[in-house]
Amino acid sequence: MQNRLKINKIILFLSTAAAVIGILFLLWILLTLIVKGVSTIHWSILTEDLINGGIRNLLIGQFVMAGVASVIGIPVGLMAGVYLREYGRNMKLVNFIRNLSDVMMSAPSIVIGVFVFALMVAPVNSFNGWAGSVALSIMMLPIIISTTDSMLSLVPNELREAGMAIGGSKHRIILDIVMKSAKVGITTGVLLAFARIIGETAPLIFTSANSAFLTFNLNDQFPSLTVAIYNLANYPDEASRNLAWSASFVLTVIVLSINLTGRFLTTHKKRN
């Protein structure tokens, strides 16, 4: 009895300590970022391109690639998730895809970058925005697939039956009723996937690389905020490193706000 109480106290102490240490590091990072970011940021960086010491083209490029990735990744991910939960009859195949998706979720993003490099960069001998977008869309897929899959599993079967019982075809009921019931959860998954890729660097280093100019030509090297930060931070001059800090600050604000929106949606759903 005495012993067990003691062990309890020790474990409580250890886990509290671990949590405090974790939070301290997180706060340290955030604080540094805010101090350095705010002290170096200047409005002009939002209106100038990298070539003139700004990040306008980088922001636009990052969003263009994330947008193209979403155009590919969201429909494919949604359809795969719907297939797994609503149509898959062959349980072996379904479970294989589920496992594959789980493995992809934990695959290091650099591996995905190298894979797309071999597929879409090496053959044409040029970094290009399409490759970057595809790499990002591959990163989105497992997140969207698994949230869609599990959100659909929360929709009670009675609702599907009720839909069919008033004369709906299977695909209509899935689109109009089942997906609608799971809408908030699925949207959250999509947002989280987007937040994940908007801040990714590794899949882009070997695919889109970076460009100092504003361009919309995805066949060419493409501007990327994250790759730019990675490069700038390695430059010896003060100006580049300062720009890296302010760019990091902007990126963090963007990722945080997308994540918070996702969180807000989920808690809002729970209240309803």
Partner 1 sequence: METILEIKNFNFTYAGALEPSLKHIDLPIHTNKVTALIGPSGCGKSTLLRAMNRIHDIYPGHTYEGQILLWDQEAQKHNNILYLEKEDDMIALRQKVGMIFQKPTPFPMSIFDNVAYGLRLSGVKNHSELRDRVEVALRGAALWEEVRDRLKENGMGLSGGQQQRLCIARAVALKPSILLFDEPTSALDPKSTRAIEELIEELKQEISIVIVTHNMQQAVRISDYTGFMYLGDLVEYDTTENVFNLPKNELTKDYVMGRFG
Does position 167 bind partner 1 by CB under 8 A? yes
Does position 163 bind partner 1 by CB under 8 A? yes
Does position 180 bind partner 1 by CB under 8 A? yes
Q: How far is the CB of 89 from partner 1 (least distance, A)?
A: 7
Does position 42 bind partner 1 by CB under 8 A? no
Please, which residue, 87 or 216, has the CB nearer to partner 1? 87
Residues 97-156 contacting partner 1, CB under 8 A: 156
Stretch in the footprint of partner 1 (CB under 8 A) among 36-44, 52-60, 170-178, 206-214: 170-178
Q: Which of 57, 58, 160, 232 binds partner 1 (CB under 8 A)?
A: 160
Q: Helix axis angle, 183-198 relative to 238-271, nearest 10°?
A: 170
Does position 88 bind partner 1 by CB under 8 A? no
Concatenating the DSSP letter of every residue in the chain gives -HHHHHHHHHHHHHHHHHHHHHHHHHHHHHHHHHHHHHHH--GGGGTS-GGGT--HHHHHHHHHHHHHHHHHHHHHHHHHHHIIIII---HHHHHHHHHHHHHHHHS-HHHHHHHHIIIIITTTTS--HHHHHHHHHHHHHHHHHHHHHHHHHTS-HHHHHHHHHTT--HHHHIIIIIHHHTHHHHHHHHHHHHHHHHT--HHHHTTT---SS----TTS----HHHHHHHHHTSSSHHHHHHHHHHHHHHHHHHHHHHHHHHHHHHHHHH-
Stretch in the footprint of partner 1 (CB under 8 A) among 23-31, 139-147, 166-174, 262-270: 166-174
Please, which residue, 53 or 88, has the CB nearer to partner 1? 88
Q: Which residue has the tokens 């190298």?
A: 114
Of 76, 93, 86, nearest in space to 170 by CA: 86
Q: How far is the CB of 160 from partner 1 (least distance, A)?
A: 7
Please, which residue, 167 or 236, has the CB nearer to partner 1? 167
Residues 89-108 contacting partner 1, CB under 8 A: 89
Q: Which of 181, 252, 261, 266 binds partner 1 (CB under 8 A)?
A: 181
Stretch in the footprint of partner 1 (CB under 8 A) among 41-49, 92-100, 157-165, 200-208: 157-165
Give the interface size with partner 1 as a residue count (CB under 8 A): 21
Q: How far is the CB of 170 from partner 1 (least distance, A)?
A: 7
- Residues found near partner 1 in the complex (CB under 8 A): 89, 156, 158-170, 172, 176-177, 180-181, 183
